[in-house]
Amino acid sequence: MVFMKAMKLQEFGKPLQLMESDLPQVLDNNVLVKVDACGVCHSDIHLAEGYYGAREEERLVIRDRRIRLPLTLGHEIAGRIEAKGRAVSAFEVGDTVVVYPWIGCGVCRACRAGFDNLCERPNALGVYADGGYAEYVLVPDPRYVLKYDGLKPEEAGVLACSGITALHALKKARVAPDDVLAIIGAGGVGGMAIQLAKALSGATIVSLDIDDRKLEYAKSLGADFTINSSKDDIGAVMKQALGKRANAVIDFVGSTQTVENAVKILVKGGRLVVVGLFGGILKMQIPLLPILALDIVGSYTGTLTDLNEILQLTNRGVVKPVISTSFRLEEANEALAKLRSGEVKGRAVIKP
């Protein structure tokens, strides 16, 4: 019997703890992956804290999502196949793979339609089942592992959340080539969205952030225009520079302020895609929805199709992988703390 180490959340609001356990049993259709790299996502902070929302009176408590502790966090996993069940024929032991973590029940309507990320009884790794802050992770079905090569594991793993979240949101924004697309937030996911919008949409891309260095980064990735929303009057700047409003906005922050900004700069018939989980309350005049024919669309992670697409785009160099800072498994709490305080350059990645 082999043992494995994992960093587990045992109580909301408390640090993760290093624990040892037996390797999980590999059923006929399971794939056991040895973790080479696991990205540290902002949503891991929310999970560890147990709520979304900066202001205490507006918090959305995570217990409502029926998450059971203890839990190994981590859903941006790249690794090698260590073992597989006898019903698994499409992969070999040793294959380097990315794990699609948004695993569903397999039999609900969403799962059967290829929208595993919208499963009614989700079993997502690192959220509802043990994830990648560990030496090994058990994947219930080969459907959820995808081969990769030509990328480093820290580059590949991140695609399973940041990458597909950006791509899925972009698709929901339904951007036309003569659209103005505003992207709020120029961090890792926002930066990926800028690259994807550049490669796939033809639209004029406006990047909004409150940090000038991030806006520089946005420019380097292809943003046509940047606005520091902590300094400038967004609407006025857009009017002056572009002569028009945004046809679509993707909000990778998701705060009261960013959503309000987004609604203000949309054209009639415009679309706001909300992705970020920062938290807060949305307040708006209901008649504006029909009169302006606005769409406010929530987007959650992405599909297996999205992962396949972003893997290929990255592998072919159409989009550049996100740079990363590495941590050891035992440093997971430190990685979370540095991510929370904004000290991490690029994506924080745990390499067990």
Cα–Cα nearest to 233, from 189, 277, 271, 264: 264
Q: Which of 5, 34, 80, 143 binds a second copy (CB under 8 A)?
A: 143
* 167-206: contacts with a second copy (CB under 8 A): 167, 176-178, 199-202, 204
CA-nearest of 115, 151, 183 to 37 is 151
Q: 305, 325, 337, 351: which one contacts a second copy (CB under 8 A)?
A: 305
- Non-local (6+) Cβ contacts of 286 within 8 A are none
Angle of helix 304-315 relative to helix 164-172, nearest 10 degrees, comes to: 110
Per CB under 8 A, the list member of 298, 326, 330, 343 interacting with a second copy is 298
* Per-residue binder mask for a second copy (CB under 8 A), 18-37, x = binder: ---------xxxx-------
Give the x-and-dash track for 94-133 against a second copy (CB under 8 A): -----------xxx-xxxxxxx-xx-x-------------
Q: How far apart are CA 85 and CA 309, in angstroms?
A: 27
248 to 287, contacts with a second copy by CB under 8 A?
254-256, 259, 267-269, 274-287
Q: Which of 280, 352 has the CB closer to a second copy?
A: 280
* 149 lies in the site for a second copy, by CB under 8 A: no
Rounded alpha-carbon distances, angstroms, from residue 257 to 61, 117, 292? 20, 27, 20
For 14, the token pair is 């408390």
Mark the segment that binds a second copy (CB under 8 A) among 53-61, 230-238, 323-331, 333-341: 53-61
What is the smallest separation between the CB atom of 145 and a second copy, expressed in angstroms?
A: 8
Which tokens go with 8? 């587990």
The mark string for 57-96 relative to a second copy (x by CB under 8 A, - otherwise) is: -x-x----x-------------------xxx--x------
Which residue's CB is nearer to a second copy, number 169 or number 332?
169
Which residues share a beta bridge with 271? 248, 295
